[in-house]
Chain A
Amino acid sequence: MQILISILQIIIVLVQIGVLVGVVLLHVAYATYFERKIIGHMQVRMGPMIVGWHGLLQPIADGIKSFFKEDIVPEQADKPLFLAAPIVCLVAMMVSLAVLPFAKGWALSDINIGLLFVFAMSSLASYGIILAGWASNSKFTLLGGMRSMAQVISYEISLGLSLVGVMMLSGSLNLTEIVEAQGSSFFGMYLFTQPVAFFVFFIAMLAETNRVPFDLPEAETELVSGYCTEYSGMRYAMFFMAEYIGMFVMASIGVVCFMGGWNGPFNVPFLPPIWFILKVYLIIFLFIWIRATIPRYRYDQLMAIGWKLLIPLALGNIFLTGLAKIVIN
């Protein structure tokens, strides 16, 4: 009996994982559509229009296309690493989905170190990028990998430090508890009590997910396509998916830590995570808007911002938060 129940539990978890992965992959497909459409309209053009009504089936066509494309492995590449790199990237990003609370009780595993886990996984994903850059045995990819390594190391620190203030206020690393600590009122959101932290977090998030203006690892006008220059077909698509899942995860962390998670002005009974999803898409929209608007930083300028601006700001924020906590108590 005991065994049967545990088997049943495992099956339920597997089904949940399957549903989550399915939904997220669909999200990835349509996030690209969302991005192309928004950027298109911002740039006085239409975006995808051919496949399906207003190009609605374009992501699916793209998926099929990249699935059937030839998987080219360069002759001088380090083959095992070359093949593993995109998988490392994608898996690390996907695993961090497990701890995200989409609504109350809607997390695959509500672990106590949720925030730390997400950081660990997103750092792991950068290994995939570095490996890809190294294993391709191409000079452009190596430069891309190097840039990525430096970028991730410097921005991981400010990303982590910016959230320390949130941890101090909520007293927990558990994502569900962080949301609950903010309460359901509008001004309870840590966005208002931790504006500096949100600023630092937002910029570090852009850098962490390799988005404009910090898309140096894949700056197409400098490094052709950066670390994924030598990749083709499905392996290239895996990097792409990892990037979009990374965007989703980081936006979710932003929503959980600063924007009150799944709480909204009223509860939606049939689909509890609706507010969560809306907020995540608000952040993703900001990402896209920024991409359409501003140019790209140079490598040394990016480092300067990370070390000379964001880290001192985040540290100052921690100090002030601690001070405020002592004064109020």
Chain B
Amino acid sequence: MNKATTFNIPVSAGDEDHYRLRMGPQHPATHGVLRVDLDLDGETILECDPRVGYLHRGFEKLAEHRTYVQNLVLTDRLDYMSAMANNVGYSEAVEKLLAIGVPLRAKYLRTMVCEMARLASHLLWLATHALDIGAMTVFLYCFREREELLELFAELCGARLTTTYTRLGGVRQDVTHSFMMRLERFVDAFPACIEEYETLIDTNRIWLKRTVNVGTVSAEDAVSLCLTGGSLRGSGVDYDVRKHFPYAAYDRLDFEIPLGETGDTYARYRCRMEEMRQSNYILRQCIEQMPPGPIVGDDAPDLVMPNKPGRKVEVDTPARQALIKLVEDRDTFMEGDVYVPTEVPKGELGFYFISDGNGHPYRMHIRSPSFIHIGALKTLAKGAMVADLIAIIGTLDVVLGECDR
């Protein structure tokens, strides 16, 4: 029998009885291309070593050679479950760096799309988390509502996934009446849908057995592991960028930050379910309070190509001319650095810019929650079983596009 050379992981002395399993990067439950090297004793995890980088596209380096406007499209590809929230996060950061004002209507629109993105992302999280644990029907129920949200995105900006909706100084398109009507219908119907998911799993004995006391992380550990978002609040730490460092129109809206107590998978699940209710409530307020006015600021640099009324697009001067102007107009850009966090569905997404006054960032760093959450996997999975690892990956709510960027 011809034996091909095997790809062996070196086994250190004394560990010969351990079973080494390389889970991923092509594995159905690792949410993309996460690779986890496991050291198993039976099915108990002795050592868990997450390896990332299989989806690395070099966004941070790429951003250094592109203008601030051009970089916006890269943020769609970070966390592709909630491209809208990334767009907003990026725009907020660049606006702070370049001191660009945003009109109130645009702020509300941004808040609205952020919360829609949060719902879309949380729905996908619930769907895959439930599917990982084996509850198949929840998966399809969630996709039913997510589909409606994506259709709404398509109606708003023409794209379902890679939206590129915001512009520096505002947003690209204004909402239409039919869009608002449709969103209102969705907002009215959605709380009943959350209840529907909960009837399937909330008090299901098997679901409880699989999630309660699984992947427990204490409040201190959660803070020291730099967890953010639902993963942090599940441990009872009250931190939400929307409340503590408000951006867009969040300071004008009324909402609560749901907190868990136990810090296990079930607490995080409950937390995110409540967050969906709160998001729905925020959406309702956005619909009711939506102020009139322009959607792009007056002091926005003319690099946003806004749909200004009466503006004529000349034949040979579309984007090209705007870009040339952008690079020439060096006065527009200040020097210095800025870090702006925003609360995306997965946690705190921060953009850190260093500007040397050029038309493009000298350095752009993305503080992506998924990357940091995957770092926490090593601690959380220790001593758990293989099946628990799947639940833990699900509950940390990671997406590899954002992690590897």
Contacts and interface: CB of A to CB of B under 8 A. Distances in A.
A44 B134 CA distance: 18
Interface residues of B, number: 37
Nearest to B4: A75
Contacts of B385: 298-300
B319 interface: no
A309 to B, nearest CB: 12
Contacts of B206: 213, 294-297
A149 B209 CA distance: 23
Interface in B116-164: 130-137, 139-141, 144
B29 interface: yes
B386 interface: yes
A295 B210 contact: yes
B390 interface: yes
Nearest to B200: A293
Given A213-B206, A298-B387, A221 B141 contact: no
Contacts of A45: 140
Interface in B84-114: none
B204 interface: yes
A277 interface: no
A73 to B, nearest CB: 12
A75 B387 CA distance: 29
A143 interface: yes
B140 A43 contact: yes
Contacts of A71: none
A294 B209 contact: no
Nearest to A45: B140
A298 B140 CA distance: 23
A292 interface: yes
Contacts of B134: 212-213, 215, 219, 221, 294-296
B28 A221 contact: yes
A62 interface: no
Given A221-B390, A298-B388, A293 B137 contact: yes
A305 to B, nearest CB: 10
Which of A219, A293, A295, A301 gathers the greatest number of chain B CB atoms within 10 Å?
A295
B136 A291 contact: yes
B135 A294 contact: yes
B11 interface: no
A-side interface size class? 20 to 34
A70 interface: no
Contacts of A39: 136
Contacts of B20: 139
A207 to B, nearest CB: 13
Contacts of B207: 294-295
B362 interface: no
A215 B386 CA distance: 15
B19 interface: yes
B137 A76 contact: no
Contacts of A219: 134, 387
Which of A76, A79, A215 gathers the greatest number of chain B CB atoms within 10 Å?
A76
B62 interface: no
Contacts of B139: 43
Contacts of A75: 2, 4
A298 B2 CA distance: 38
Interface string A162-194: 000000000000000000000000000000000
Interface in B19-38: 19-22, 27-29
Contacts of A299: 43, 385-387
Nearest to B20: A139
Given A43-B137, A221-B132, A294 B204 contact: yes
A26 interface: no
Given A293-B200, A294-B134, A224 B141 contact: no
Contacts of B200: 293
B7 to A, nearest CB: 11
Interface in B48-65: none
B133 A295 contact: yes
Nearest to B135: A295
Which of A43, A215, A298 gathers the greatest number of chain B CB atoms within 10 Å?
A298
A222 B386 contact: yes
7 contacts: A43-B136, A43-B137, A76-B4, A215-B134, A292-B137, A294-B134, A296-B387
Given A44-B141, A212-B134, A299-B43, 10 more contacts: A75-B4, A212-B136, A215-B134, A221-B133, A221-B390, A222-B390, A224-B28, A295-B206, A296-B133, A299-B387
